[in-house]
A and B are shown apart, each in its own frame.
Chain A
Amino acid sequence: MDVIIENLPLYWEGFLRTLFLSAVSGVIALLLGTVLAAARVSPVAALRGFSMAYVEILRNTPLTIAFFFAAIVLPRLGVKFEQFEVAAIIALSAYTAAFIAEAVRSGVNSVPVGQAEAARSIGMKFGQVLSLIILPQALRTVIPPLINILIALVKNSSVAGAFFVLELFGYGRQLANSNGDQVLAVLLGVAFFYLLITVPLGILASTVERKVAIAR
C-alpha cells in the first residue's frame, strides 16, 4: 500500500491525463460520428459511400494498429507532432467516431417513420428534417449506448500508455518497473483509478436507460 500513497501525485497526474485524453477524444468523436451518421443517411451517394467505407474499415481495425499508425508510422512519413498526446487523440477519436456513427445511425432508424414524413409534408428539406426533427430524438434514445462507447473509450485510452503518453497506464508501467517487489499494489492502484471513471459512467448509463425506457 505504501507505494500507492508515496506515488499518489503520479497517480493523480496520470488520472487527470487519462480524463483529458478521453474528454477531448470523446468530444471530437461525438462530433465526427454524428457527421458520419448524417452522411450515411444523406441523399448524396458519394457521402453515403464514404461514410460506409470509413465505418466499416475503422470498426474492424484493432486499436493498437490505429495507434501504431498515428504514433510510429505517421512521424516517419513526415507528419511530426509536438506531443504524442496529439497522435493518441487522433487515433482514439478516429476509432471511436466509427462506433458512434453506427450507434447514431441505429438511433435514426429507431425514430418512427411518421416523424420524418410529417416533417417533409410541412415542407422541410433534408437538413432541416435531420437536424430539427430526427437527430434530437435519435440522440436521446442512443444516450445509453453512447455512454457505453465512452466507457470503452476511457479504457481504450490505456493503449496510449504504450505509445509514449504518460497517462494512468503509462505511469502504472513505470511504477511497476521501478517497484518490482510491489507490482500487485501498484497495478491495483491503477485499476482503482480506472474504476473511478468507468463505474460511475456505467451506473449513469443504466439509470438513463431506465428513464428512457419509461418515457417510451
Chain B
Amino acid sequence: MSSVLYDVPGPKARRVSLIGSVVGSLLILGLLAWIVSTLAQQGIFEGRRWAIFTRADVWTLLGNGIGATLSAAAVAAVIAFPLGLLVCLLRISDLAAIRIPTRIVLEFLRGMPVVLMMFFVLLVFGTNQFIAVVAGLVLYNAAVFAEIIRAGIQSLPKGQREAGLTIGLTSFQSRMIIELPQAVRRMMPSLVAQLVVLLKDTSLGYIVAYGELLRAVQVMADFLGTQFLFPIFFVAAAIYIAINICVSRIAVWIERRGSKKAAGGVAKAEPEPIEAEVK
C-alpha cells in the first residue's frame, strides 16, 4: 500500500529521498550521541557501575524477578482463558436473565484500571501480593477474552449455528462443538496479542509491591546504591522488552499462518510489483 502513496521515484526524487534519509539518520544519531554524552557525563559508562553484572547474586535476583513476572503471567493466563470462555457463553446466553447481568459485570470489569483491581483484592480480601496480582489480571483479562471470543462467534456465518441446531444439537452443544472451536481459531491472533498485554500488565505488580522484575530492580538499587540504578534498570528493561517482542512475534506468526490456511493452505502467489522493475 505504502508505495501507492507516492510516484515511483525518479533520479531527482531518489536524490531528495537519499538526502532526507541521510539528514534524518544524522539527526537521530545526533540525538543518540547527545544522550550518550549526557549519560557519560553522569559517569554511567564507568566500568565499576557495570561490574555488578559479574556478580552472581545480581543475576540471581534478576532471575527471581523474571521468574515472578512469568509465573504470575502464566498462572493468570491459564485461569483467565477458560474463565473467559465460560463468561462468553453466559454473555451470549439465550436467557436475558443471564445475559444482561453478565454484560453489566463485563462492562464494569473492562472499564476499570487493572491496578485498581489488584489493589482492591489486596486490601479488601487481605491476600498476599501474588494472589492480588493474579486475581487482578484474571478478572480483567477473562473479561477481554470473553469479548474477543464473542466477537469471533458473531463473525461466524449464521448457517453454522442453524445447521448445528437442525441436526438436533442443543443450543449448548452447538456452541461447544460447532461455534467455539471456530471462533477461538479465528480469533487466535487477538487472543495471543491479549496475552502480550497480560504479560506487560504483570509489571503493575510493582505498584502493589509484588516482587516482580521491576521491584527487583528497585530493591537492588536501594541495596547496592543508587549509582547502580541505571545499569540494572537498563538490563531489566531490555530483558522485559525482549520477552514481550518474542511473544508479539509469535502472535504475528500465528496470524500469517492463519491467513495462509484460510487461503486453502497455499500461499497466494504475489504478483511481481511492477515498480520494482522500473529503473
| The one of A68, A69, A77, A159 that contacts B42, using a Cβ cutoff of 8 Å | A77
A61 touches B241 (CB 8 A): yes
In the complex, A50→B29 CA distance in Å?
Answer: 11
Given A68-B206, A155-B111, A187-B116, 18 more A-B residue pairs with CB atoms under 8 Å apart are A41-B2, A46-B20, A46-B22, A46-B28, A62-B240, A64-B203, A64-B214, A76-B230, A78-B38, A108-B1, A108-B5, A113-B1, A158-B115, A169-B113, A169-B116, A169-B119, A191-B120, A194-B112
B123 — which chain A residues lie within 8 A by C-beta?
Answer: 176, 183, 187
A interface residues, Cβ below 8 angstroms from B: 40-41, 43-47, 50, 56-57, 59-65, 68-69, 72-73, 76-78, 108-109, 113, 116-117, 120, 125-126, 129-130, 134, 151, 155-156, 158-159, 161-162, 169, 172-173, 176, 183-184, 187, 190-191, 194-195, 198-199, 202
Mark B residues whose CB is within 8 Å of A. Answer: 1-2, 4-7, 9, 13, 17, 20-22, 24-25, 28, 38-39, 42, 44, 107-108, 110-116, 119-120, 123-124, 196, 200-204, 206-207, 214, 217, 226, 229-230, 233, 237, 240-241, 244-245, 248
Judge whether B113 and A46 touch: CB under 8 Å. Answer: no
Interchain CB contact (< 8 A) of A65 among B25, B111, B115, B237: B237
Q: Which 8 A-B pairs have the closest CB atoms?
A: A62-B203, A46-B24, A198-B111, A158-B113, A60-B244, A64-B203, A162-B207, A46-B21
By the criterion CB–CB under 8 Å, are A47 and B1 in contact?
no
**Closest chain B residue, CB of each to CB of A163:** B207
Cα A120 to Cα B241 in complex, Å, equals 40
Provided the pairs A60-B200, A113-B4, A194-B113 are in contact, do residues A65 and B244 lie with their beta carbons within 8 angstroms?
no
Across the interface, which residues of A come within 8 angstroms of B21, CB to CB?
44-47
- Residue of A44, A78, A183 with most chain B CB atoms under a 10 A cut-off: A44
CB-CB under 8 A from B214, the residues of chain A are 62, 64-65, 68
Report yes or no: B6 in contact with A43, Cβ–Cβ below 8 A.
yes
Give the CA-CA distance A130 to B5 in the complex, in Å: 7
Q: Which residue from chain A places its CB closest to the CB of B9 in the assembled complex?
A: A43
Whether A126 contacts B207 by the Cβ 8 Å rule is no
The answer for the CA separation of A199 and B204 in the assembled complex, in Å, is: 23
